[in-house]
Amino acid sequence: MDINSELCARVYPLSGIGRALDYRVPSSIVGRLGIGSLVKMPLRGRHESGVVLELGMEPELPREKLKYVSASEQPFPVLTPDLVALARWMSTYYACSLESVFEAMIPASVRKGMGRRILQHLRLLRKLEAEELATLEKRAPNQLLVYRFLAAQPEGKSFQKAELLTRLNLSPSCVDSLVKKGVVEQQHSAVERGAYDDELADAEYVAAEEHELNDEQQAAVTGLMDSLNAKEFRTHLIHGVTGSGKTEVYLRVLKEALEQGGGAILLVPEVALAPQTVGRLRSRLVASGVKTVVWHSHLSDGERYDAWHALASGEARVVVGARSAIFAPIPNLRLILVDEEHEPAYKQEEIPRYHGRDLAVYRASLCKALCVLGSATPSLESLYNARLGKYRLNRITKRVDDRQLPLVHLVDMKHEVHKGQGGATFSRLLISKMQDRLEKGEQTILFLNRRGYNTSMMCPDCGYVAMCDHCSISLTHHKAEGVLRCHLCGFETKAPEQCPNCRSGAIKWKGSGTQRIEEIAHKFIPKARIVRIDADTMNKKNLFRSILGDFRAGKIDVLVGTQMIAKGLDFPNVTLVGLVDADISLHLPDFRANERTFQLLVQVAGRAGRGERAGEVVVQTFLPYSAPIQFARAQDFDGFAEDELRNRQEFSYPPFRHVVHHLFRGRNPEKLAFYAEQWAKRAEELLGPEVEIRGPAPAPIEKIKDSYRYQLWYFMPRVTPFMPKLLELREQFPRDKDVTEVIDTDAVNLT
pLDDT tens for residues 594-636? 999 898 888 887 777 666 677 888 988 888 888 998 998 888 9
Same domain, 555 and 674: no
Beta bridge partners of 205: none
Residue 395 CA from chain centroid, whole number: 27
Q: Taken in order 292, 293, 297, 298, is the CA torsion positive or negative? A: positive
With DSSP H G I counted as helix, E B as strand and the rest as coil, what are the percentages for the chain, rounded to 5?
Answer: 35, 25, 40
pLDDT of residue 196: 40
**Element at 725 (helix H, strand E):** helix 723-732
Last residue of a domain, one of 614, 648, 682: 648
Nearest to 355 by CA among 714, 748, 750: 748
Which amino acid, residue 143? Q
Same domain, 107 and 161: no
Q: Provide φ and ψ at 468, rounded to 5°.
A: -70, 140
**pLDDT tens figures, 270-282:** 766 666 677 778 7
Q: Is the pLDDT of residue 22 over 60?
A: yes
Same domain, 431 and 394: no
| pTM for this predicted structure | 0.84
Show the 3-state SS of 636-647.
CHHHHHHHHHHH
Q: Are 566 and 572 in contact (CB under 8 A)?
A: no
CATH of the domain at 573: 3.40.50.300
Decide if 349 is inside a domain. Answer: yes
Same domain, 357 and 227: yes
Residue 490 burial (CB count, 10 A): 11
Q: How far is CA 183 from CA 131, 149, 210, in A?
A: 14, 13, 57
Last residue of a domain, one of 648, 669, 700: 648
Beta strands in 168-251 (DSSP E): 184-191, 234-240
CATH of the domain at 126: 1.10.10
Same domain, 588 and 615: yes
Beta bridge partners of 704: 707
Decide if 499 is inside a domain. Answer: no
> In whole numbers, what is the pLDDT of the chain averaged over residues?
85
Nearest to 522 by CA among 558, 566, 476, 565: 558
Interhelix angle 141-151/161-168, rounded to 10 degrees, is 120
Q: Tell me which residue range forms the domain holding 332.
A: 215-402
Decide if 486 is inside a domain. Answer: no
**pLDDT greater at residue 333 or residue 497:** 333
Total count of residues recorded for the chain: 751
Which amino acid, residue 625? Y
Lowest mean pLDDT among 27-31, 215-219, 281-285, 513-517: 281-285
Q: Is the pLDDT of residue 298 over 90?
A: no
- DSSP-based three-state secondary structure for 734: coil
The CA distance from 627 to 640, in Å, is 8
**Mean pLDDT, to the nearest integer, of 66-93?**
91
CA angle 618, 621, 625 (to 5 degrees): 105
Decide if 271 is inside a domain. Answer: yes
Lowest mean pLDDT among 61-65, 431-435, 549-553, 658-662: 549-553
Show the 3-state SS of 323-342.
HHHHHCCCCCEEEEEEECCC
Decide if 206 is inside a domain. Answer: no
pLDDT of residue 721: 92
Q: Are 301 and 314 in contact (CB under 8 A)?
A: no
Q: Provide φ and ψ at 483, rounded to 5°.
A: -135, 160
Same domain, 565 and 695: no
Residue 191 burial (CB count, 10 A): 9
Nearest to 373 by CA among 413, 344, 336, 408: 336
The CA distance from 254 to 235, in Å, is 15
**What burial letters (b/e) apply to 416-434, b meaning 16+ CB within 10 Å?**
beeeeeeebbbbebbbebb
Which amino acid, residue 710? Y
**pLDDT tens figures, 557-596:** 998 887 766 655 667 788 888 888 887 777 777 888 899 9
Same domain, 255 and 396: yes
**pLDDT tens figures, 133-184:** 888 888 888 888 888 888 888 877 778 887 788 888 888 888 888 888 888 8
Q: Is the pLDDT of residue 421 over 50?
A: no
**Would strands 616-621 and 574-579 be described as parallel, antiparallel, or unpaired?**
parallel
Which of the residue ranges 108-122, 242-256, 362-376 has the most confident prediction, judged by mean pLDDT? 362-376
Decide if 394 is inside a domain. Answer: yes
The CA distance from 303 to 235, in Å, is 32
**pLDDT tens figures, 536-553:** 665 565 677 777 778 888
Q: Residue 192 — very low, low, confident or very high, per pLDDT cuts 50/70/90?
A: very low
**pLDDT tens figures, 663-676:** 999 999 999 999 99
Q: Is the pLDDT of residue 1 over 60?
A: no
Same domain, 519 and 588: yes
Same domain, 313 and 227: yes
Same domain, 256 and 351: yes
State the alpha helices, DSSP H only, in 28-159: 81-93, 98-105, 108-111, 130-139, 141-151
The CA distance from 639 to 718, in Å, is 28
**Mean pLDDT, to the nearest integer, of 309-331?**
91
What is the count of structural domains for the chain?
A: 5
Decide if 588 is inside a domain. Answer: yes
Which amino acid, residue 736? D
The CA distance from 278 to 320, in Å, is 7
**Mean pLDDT, to the nearest integer, of 62-70?**
88
Nearest to 107 by CA among 327, 267, 423, 354: 327
- DSSP-based three-state secondary structure for 463: coil
The CA distance from 630 to 632, in Å, is 5
The CA distance from 662 to 124, in Å, is 67
pLDDT of residue 563: 72
Q: Residue 202 — very low, low, confident or very high, per pLDDT cuts 50/70/90?
A: very low
pLDDT of residue 478: 83
Q: How far is CA 333 from CA 200, 250, 263, in A?
A: 23, 16, 5
pLDDT of residue 536: 61
Q: Provide φ and ψ at 638, rounded to 5°.
A: -60, -40
Same domain, 522 and 643: yes
Last residue of a domain, one of 648, 677, 699: 648
CATH of the domain at 738: 3.30.70.600
**pLDDT greater at residue 219 or residue 500:** 219
Q: Provide φ and ψ at 11, rounded to 5°.
A: -120, 135
**pLDDT tens figures, 81-110:** 999 999 999 999 999 999 999 999 999 888
Residue 195 CA from chain centroid, whole number: 19
**Element at 274 (helix H, strand E):** helix 274-285
pLDDT of residue 239: 94
pLDDT of residue 201: 46
CATH of the domain at 94: 3.40.1440.60
- DSSP codes joined into one string, 366-377: HHT-EEEEEESS
Decide if 205 is inside a domain. Answer: no
Same domain, 415 and 551: yes
The CA distance from 277 to 155, in Å, is 45
> Which are the contacts of 574, defined by CB distance < 8 A and separation ≥ 6?
442, 443, 444, 445, 607, 608, 609, 610, 611, 615
The CA distance from 477 to 451, in Å, is 9
